[in-house]
Structure 1
Amino acid sequence: MSGTCLIVSSIYDFSVDLVVQELEKRNVDYLRINKENLSQYEININPVKKEFHISGEGVDRKITKVKSIWFRQAVFLRNTPAKALSLEEQLSRSQWSAFLRSLMLFEDSYWMNWPASTYAAESKPYQLMIASEVGFKVPATEVGNSFKNSKILDTKIIVKSLDTVLLRDGDDCLFTYTSNVEASELIKGHINSAPLIVQHYVNQKTDIRVTVIENDIFAVKITTNGAGIDDDWRLTKRERIEYTDIPLPDELLKSCKLFMKRLNLNFGAIDFIESNGEYYFIEINPTGEWGWLSNEKRAIEKYIADALSR
């Protein structure tokens, strides 16, 4: 199938660089658009003829056939700026976000992933519901800003945000991680201002990252000194983390494929935890990072490039 592969990305998305190199090896025509640079181009879409014209920054392209779209930037703005945005900035960000969504007019193209499916899959309560329906074990979970009458507080719990949190406080960037807390902290604390996800804490756990590209599945366990990490493993120093390829039980593999089908995703980064031989679904990220997992034996970029170039 001839045509152009359109990549909607960010200048900081280094995983995309790996895939671009693979597309170039295959002589695949592609166009990468970084969300930070959109206003530096002159862009025009004809929604009836399904044509895409872009010029500026050394690019002058009229694309009449979009073969595939790698939709890496589902959310245009997540952080809270240090200062109030001007009216022009507010208008620009909101309208470019709408523009990226309008790429759905190329509905006949191969998508990784279809935007509407991405938005749905980013909802953690929704993905937990589907996970349970396809047969995954799911830790007891509640979502909200009040847990004073909840039985989940009778167990050891973890707390995490409902969506990715990236805040800016002056010159500091603030990011939240999954945290172990005492139930009394939720009862006494002031949590009314924002909803939280509260889950039963699974003891003696090992984190498992499963990267799915269509029917290809890569599973690794994440350890330090050969042992599981009690807290959020992302808080462990990178040089101390080990990524080891592991086989998954056949039933779990089947459930992963069914899960992806239910969510209508061609790509997903699924997090499980294993405890005493049982696998618990934690979450899926439809635009998840994977560059840190790539190596010669686990060349994820090649599988993504294959899907985009077919």
Structure 2
Amino acid sequence: MSKFCLVLCSKYDFSVDLVIQELEESGVDYIRLNKEELSDYLINIDPVKRVLAVKGHGINREILNVTSVWFRQPVFIRNTPGHALALEEQLSRSQWAAFLRGLIIFENAIWMNWPASTYSAESKPYQLMLASKIGFKVPETMIGNDSNYFEKFDTDIIVKSLDTVLLRDGEDCLFTYTSSITSKELNEDNTKIAPLTVQEYVYPKTDIRVTVIGEKVHAVRITSAGSGIDEDWRLLKKEEIEYTDVKLPPVIVGYCREIVREMGLRFGAIDLIESNEIYYFIEINPTGEWGWLSTENRPIEKDIANMLAG
């Protein structure tokens, strides 16, 4: 049976290029559809016969057997436009989103990841509950908008958004980072407008990114000048950050595989922190970035391509 991979992504997602190169070298047939360009094609599906037809940009194909789907987009719509959308664009966005969800008719394909699994996996409270159930140590956490409940933390705390924040203010794009403060700085005036996540501040700490593809596990320690980074490491300049392969305890590796499997995923980017030889689960991203971590000794794109090739 010939293999065909449908890649659903963004034209700005350059990590996809790495995987596509591997697919081509493996002889896997594919079509890449960027969400920004869907209306440039003529795309149809027969939901009963499960046939996909694509025309445009030099493509004229009718695919009878979709064997894998790489769904790179988060399920939640996190950003809002900085201006009012024309009716035509509103219609286009809503209906193409529904069309992409409709591709789950290819239920026998290898999905990375199945949209319904991605949807639940993007819930931070669900992540923390499941991680603790599996055996991970999880920082003491409170989520909500009632500042009275945050008074239980009598030490420094970590404050972060409940979901990724990407806001538009005119031409500006606003993004939030994890902040370290004291619980006394939270009050009704600055918490009531929206729920937030408050966690105990684990210190000292070293950030670890674990990329899981099926049974493959790549763990990287994130440091600066050889030491752990107290604040959100994303605030540092790229040249100030070091990524070093780290061998995790077998039980932690097992937990990482298990939470990906329990969430119905084939791919997950897990953030851990290590403090005094104790490993804490922070979060998992079912569509997390990994291109900046890929090396010859850490061939993440090869592992993804192998999974999509079945």
When the two structures are superposed, what TM-score results if normalisation uses the length of structure 2? 0.97
| 8 A Cα contact 2:208 2:219, kept in partner | yes
| 8 A Cα contact 2:155 2:182, kept in partner | no
Determine helix, strand or coil for the equivalent of 1:61: strand
How far, CA to CA, are the matches of 1:268 and 1:92 in structure 2?
30
Partner in structure 2 of residue 274 of structure 1: 274
| 8 A Cα contact 1:152 1:199, kept in partner | no
How far, CA to CA, are the matches of 2:80 and 2:10 in structure 1?
18
Q: Please say if 1:8 is aligned against 2:8.
A: yes
**Aligned positions of 1:1-310 closer than 5 A:** 1-75=1-75, 77-187=77-187, 189-310=189-310
Structure 1 unmatched ranges of 5 or more: none
Determine helix, strand or coil for the equivalent of 1:148: helix
How far residue 68 of structure 1 moved from its aligned partner, in angstroms, is 0.3
How far, CA to CA, are the matches of 1:251 and 1:76 in structure 2?
32
| Counterpart AA for 1:206 | T
Structure 2 unmatched ranges of 5 or more: none
1:67-126 per-position Cα deviation (integer Å, ceiling 9, x unaligned): 100110133742121111222222211111111111111000011111100110000000
How far residue 185 of structure 1 moved from its aligned partner, in angstroms, is 2.4
Determine helix, strand or coil for the equivalent of 1:190: helix
- CA-based RMSD: 1.2
The count of aligned residue pairs is: 310
| 8 A Cα contact 1:147 1:153, kept in partner | no
Determine helix, strand or coil for the equivalent of 1:306: helix
How far residue 27 of structure 1 moved from its aligned partner, in angstroms, is 1.5
Judged with a 3 Å threshold, the aligned counterparts in structure 2 of structure 1 residues 107 and 184 are, in CA distance, closer, same or farther, namely same
1:179-216 per-position Cα deviation (integer Å, ceiling 9, x unaligned): 11221222154222211111111011000000001001
How far, CA to CA, are the matches of 1:168 and 1:97 in structure 2?
21
| 8 A Cα contact 1:219 1:248, kept in partner | yes
| Counterpart AA for 1:96 | W
Judged with a 3 Å threshold, the aligned counterparts in structure 2 of structure 1 residues 293 and 8 are, in CA distance, closer, same or farther, namely same
When the two structures are superposed, what TM-score results if normalisation uses the length of structure 1? 0.97
Determine helix, strand or coil for the equivalent of 1:228: coil
| 8 A Cα contact 1:273 1:280, kept in partner | yes
| Counterpart AA for 1:142 | M
How far residue 173 of structure 1 moved from its aligned partner, in angstroms, is 1.1
How far, CA to CA, are the matches of 1:59 and 1:73 in structure 2?
23
| Counterpart AA for 2:233 | W
